[in-house]
Amino acid sequence: MKLIPGEDSEAYLQRLVSECGQIEMGICVVVFGFRVAAGYTRRPIYEINYCGGDKQNDVELLYSAVKQILESMEVKPGMFNAFPLEVKRPFPEDLENFKKLLNLVPRKLELIKLPSLWELRIRQRVWE
């Protein structure tokens, strides 16, 4: 599946949408930081929703991993079941499950450098 840039919304910053239009992912703003979430488009719930905390580098790592994993998958029912659950927050500090996530990355992880999420948050007036 290929993910392409989508229009940011109240729900997502740095939103990506599958070419078929069925899957979306992005960064959600929460009170103390950011979450990386993904799911089916036009649904009110996320299939995965990982706490990235308030550190830009942690959010970029999560966002990059989730994007690469999704791009290696085909759109089908139950596809999100492969993703580990978040037990501890922020997710990068949940070493056991974070390692499981990184093991799903199909090739060497390519880190995506994002614009300042705190500046985007202020500019777009995105609040929880």
Sequence-ordered list of residues with C-beta below 8 angstroms from that of 99, at least 6 positions apart, any chain: none
Percent of the chain with pLDDT strictly greater than 90:
77
| Whole-number Å distance between alpha carbons of 90 and 92 | 6
| Whole-number Å distance between alpha carbons of 43 and 56 | 27
Residue that wins the pLDDT comparison between 32 and 55: 55
Domain count for the chain, please give it: 1
Is residue 125 situated within a structural domain?
Answer: no
Is residue 121 situated within a structural domain?
Answer: no
Each residue's pLDDT tens digit, 15-46: 999 999 999 999 999 988 999 999 999 888 89
Mean pLDDT rounded to a whole number for the chain: 92
Is residue 9 situated within a structural domain?
Answer: yes
| The pLDDT value given to residue 125 | 63
Q: For residues 70 and 38, is the Cβ–Cβ distance under 8 A?
A: yes
Element (H, E) at 80: none
Is residue 123 situated within a structural domain?
Answer: no
**Nearest Cα to 105, choosing from 59, 61, 69?**
69
| The pLDDT value given to residue 27 | 96
| The pLDDT value given to residue 128 | 44
Indicate whether 65 pLDDT > 90: yes
Is residue 61 situated within a structural domain?
Answer: yes
Domain coverage including residue 54: 3-115
| The pLDDT value given to residue 62 | 97
| The pLDDT value given to residue 11 | 80
